[in-house]
Amino acid sequence: MIWFRTWQLGVKSLLLHPMRSILTVLGIFIGVASVIALLAIGEGISQKAQEQIESLGAQNIMVRSIKPPDDGTGNFGEITPYGLTRAEKDLMERTISTIDSTVSIREMPMRFTNTGNANLKPIDGRLVGCSPAYREVVGLKIDRGHFFTDVENDNAPPVCVIAAQLARKLFPSEDPIHKTVFLPEENTYYKIIGVLKHKEATAAVGGSLAAQDFSMDVYIPIKTMHAQFGDMRQKRAGGSFTAEIFELSQVTVRVRTVADVPRTAKLIETTLKRTNPQREDIAMVVPYELLEQAKVTKLMFMIFMGLIAAISLVVGGIGIMNIMLATVTERTREIGIRRALGAKRRDIIHQFLVETVVLSVVGGVTGILVGLFCPVVVEGLRMGLESFFPAVYDNLPDSVKGMTPQIVPSSIPLAFGISVAVGVVFGVYPAIRAAKMDPIEALRHE
């Protein structure tokens, strides 16, 4: 009954000055909402980044061919081979027992057109030679037709599977299945046997795997590519001649178990650099290691975001202490009367602590309610930015464009607990100061 009376008096005291109470609550409200919102945004960005890495496969290791920079020491007309070779791929499979399978691809920039549409200009895209297993590795999904099979890959027929966006551009008003794609630079035709579903582009991962855009791809059997193009790529333009020799653009190695990934990565590096430890024409990406790094980065990022938001709570607590000190001064005579009527020091402390806790609880609850709307607010801001400031929106990283804030369940009790703790901690000093007043001096106060 005594505690109920104390709470009743505390609430009534706050309602006597509603505007001051609201402004005091505002600091806690902003702090709690910031904790929930910032942690949700951090979680959303982290999940997006981890999804990009996980899509590469935790049991996969990707080895890419990189064209080394021209140091100017070569002879005129000299053509130097670079990158991964089929022999190196076979060597890895034979000598490293932890490798379960390998998938090879070769990529070439190319221009595509539809000979049935005279008004269509050639479209820049990418010709990708691969095996049927590449579809599973990358996550390509068939919309119409079928992906080429192992039999078709072995027979090296002139068939292809094209990306959805390229299909719409080349064949805007007809079904592309069984039509042909023409490569004007090579004077070559490929029969379309399948059309893929749309696949989102992937962001750059690590420092060696560039961003991948699948929207303008044409996929052909890798043996077809080798038979038609060989290992040399030549270009003649404006009287100049350039050529490069490379066999494979990338080899994706699938390891038997995740635990074997780090050891297998070291064995692959040793195998490929056995003759030249300073080799610069290959780069290796290990999604498992990147995923572990991303988890550590996520933890550090969340702690950093939480600390920033916690500062707002501390500022709010300082605001509560400032207001309560002013309240103690204003209510000096009231304190003297209560002490004269028999109230003990602990009763005075309880009353002022109740008022600070009420302010903290109200600020915490309203902050939680607003913080839970963070995903809706972020989506609205993103849509507004896309509509009114498209240039700014286009320059945003893909991880931000596709990010959806994820409310961290633990942030709700954490933020609320901290808000109440802040209210108590910053309310103790004003309460003790009020309780220590001399009743006689308090009664004389005007």
231: helix, strand or coil: coil
In a domain? residue 306:
yes
Cβ atoms of residues 302 and 39 within 8 Å: yes
What pLDDT does residue 231 have? 82
Helix (H) or strand (E) holding 130: strand 123-130
pLDDT in single tens digits along all 446 residues of the chain: 556 666 666 667 776 777 877 877 888 888 888 888 888 888 887 777 667 666 666 778 888 888 877 655 544 455 678 888 889 899 998 898 888 888 899 998 999 998 766 577 889 999 999 999 888 888 889 999 999 998 988 888 999 999 999 999 999 888 999 999 999 888 899 999 999 998 876 655 554 455 677 889 999 999 999 988 888 776 665 555 667 788 898 998 888 887 788 888 899 988 888 878 888 888 888 877 666 766 777 777 777 777 776 777 777 778 778 777 777 777 777 777 777 777 777 777 777 788 888 888 888 888 888 888 888 888 888 888 888 887 877 777 666 677 788 888 888 888 888 888 887 787 787 878 777 777 666 666 55
Tell me how far apart the alpha carbons of residues 110 and 117 are, in angstroms, rounded to a whole number.
18
166 Cβ contact partners less than 8 Å away, ≥ 6 residues apart: 112, 123, 125, 215, 216, 217, 218
> Does one domain contain both 129 and 21?
no
> Does one domain contain both 87 and 229?
yes
Cβ atoms of residues 48 and 289 within 8 Å: no
> Does one domain contain both 116 and 167?
yes
Helix 345-371 with 18-54: angle, nearest 10 deg: 50
> Does one domain contain both 93 and 236?
yes
How many structural domains compose the chain?
2
> Does one domain contain both 229 and 244?
yes
Pairing of strands 99-112, 123-130: antiparallel
Helix (H) or strand (E) holding 254: strand 250-255
CB-based burial of residue 399 (10 Å sphere; 0-12 exposed, 13-18 middle, 19+ buried)? middle
Reported residue count of the chain is: 446
Using only C-alpha atoms, the chain has a radius of gyration, in whole angstroms, of: 34
Of 197, 231, 256, which residue sits at a domain end?
256
Query: pLDDT tens digit string along 377-431?
Result: 888 888 888 888 878 777 776 666 777 888 888 888 888 888 888 877 877 878 7
| Alpha carbon of residue 430 to chain centroid | 45
> Does one domain contain both 41 and 86?
no
In a domain? residue 262:
no
β-sheet bridge partners, residue 173: none
What pLDDT does residue 207 have? 47
> Does one domain contain both 317 and 368?
yes
> Does one domain contain both 196 and 70?
yes
* Cα atoms in the Cβ-side hemisphere of radius 13 Å centred on 236: 3
Tell me how far apart the alpha carbons of residues 263 and 253 are, in angstroms, rounded to a whole number.
13
What pLDDT does residue 74 have? 47
Tell me how far apart the alpha carbons of residues 145 and 161 are, in angstroms, rounded to a whole number.
9
Query: pLDDT tens digit string along 275-290?
Result: 788 888 888 888 776 6
In a domain? residue 147:
yes
> Does one domain contain both 81 and 230?
yes
Sign of CA dihedral 267, 269, 273, 278: negative
What pLDDT does residue 124 have? 92
Q: Which two tokens stand for residue 303?
A: 């702690």
What pLDDT does residue 55 have? 63
Helix 332-340 with 345-371: angle, nearest 10 deg: 130
Task: Using alpha carbons, select from 165, 190, 164 the residue that is nearest to residue 178.
Answer: 190
> Does one domain contain both 238 and 348?
no
What pLDDT does residue 53 have? 63
In a domain? residue 179:
yes
Tell me how far apart the alpha carbons of residues 332 and 340 are, in angstroms, rounded to a whole number.
12
> Does one domain contain both 75 and 220?
yes
In a domain? residue 27:
yes
In a domain? residue 288:
no
In a domain? residue 346:
yes
* Number of Cβ within a 10 Å radius of residue 246: 19
In a domain? residue 280:
no
* Number of Cβ within a 10 Å radius of residue 273: 12
Q: Which residue has the tokens 């007043």?
A: 437
Of 207, 241, 256, which residue sits at a domain end?
256
Which domain range does residue 37 map to? 2-53+293-444
Could you give phi then psi for residue 351, rounded to 5 degrees? -65, -45
Which residue type is seen at 320?
I
Cβ atoms of residues 324 and 433 within 8 Å: no
Pairing of strands 188-196, 60-65: unpaired
Pairing of strands 142-145, 240-245: unpaired
How far is residue 215 from each of residues 73, 124, 168, 394, measured CA to CA in Å?
Answer: 38, 11, 10, 17
> Does one domain contain both 64 and 137?
yes
Of 240, 256, 272, which residue sits at a domain end?
256
